[in-house]
Amino acid sequence: MNLIIFGPPGAGKGTQADFIVDKFNLYQLSTGEVLRNEIKNKTELGKEISSIINSGSLVSDDIVKKLVENYISNNKYKNRLIFDGYPRNLNQVQTLNELLTKYAQKIDLVLKLSVSLETITKRILERKTIEKRSDDSEELAVKRYKTYEKSTEPVIEYYKKLNLLKVIDGERTIDQINKEISDIITLI
Ligand code: AMP
């Protein structure tokens, strides 16, 4: 089984992805993390993309395609991938379809963790009080939330039409969300 997980920053996507990976013996492919590692390891690619990532823009679709193909083509990950942060636009959806066909695989499920902007803001304010941070992370988070919702909308709509999308209410407790996701995956 291959699946895609969507959710705005602060929705608890990382926590849920860790849980799915452990429980169902899958592998998480976070394109953002792979790209950050390239920068950390000072690879040729890392040098090429560091200014793009640091400015918050998207890396070119071709670069991301190569990274993703490395994983899809690897037998170790065959039918065991959770895509996180990819695909981010309709061009990447098309590329992903081509790659999956090329390596005789498909997407079986698309999860969207749905959390309101109000809840995200509340979580950040709570964290800020606990950690006594006085940066502008609230303002930034609101901006990232809006950008995220807007840019992923057509992608999510695409998977909805294919009947692959399950929207998960991310306002509940971690355990409740774990259980719902677990039940959905078990039924596939
Ligand atoms: P993320 O951790 O998913 O928020 O990604 C961090 C950064 O990596 C993004 O701001 C982009 O610069 C880059 N990135 C991650 N995934 C993609 C993608 N699918 N397409 C293009 N750029 C990406």
Query: Tell me: domain 3-182, CATH 3.10.20.30, correct?
Result: no
What are the φ/ψ torsions at residue 25 (nearest 5 degrees)? 55, 50
List helix spans (H) across the chain: 13-24, 31-40, 44-54, 61-72, 90-102, 117-131, 137-161, 174-186
In this predicted structure, the answer to whether residue 1 has a pLDDT above a threshold of 60 is yes
User: Which residue from 36, 119, 138, 140 is spatially nearest to 85, judged by alpha carbons?
Assistant: 36
Residues 94-120: tens digit of each pLDDT: 999 999 999 999 999 999 999 999 998
| Contact present, 104 and 2 (Cβ < 8 Å) | no
Ligand 1 pocket member 154 (CB < 6 A): no
Q: Residue of the nearest CA to atom 1 in ligand 1?
A: 32
The residues pairing with 167 across neighbouring beta strands, listed in sequence order, are 112
Centre of ligand 1 from the C-alpha of residue 38, in Å: 12
Q: Answer whether 0.85 is exceeded by the pTM.
A: yes
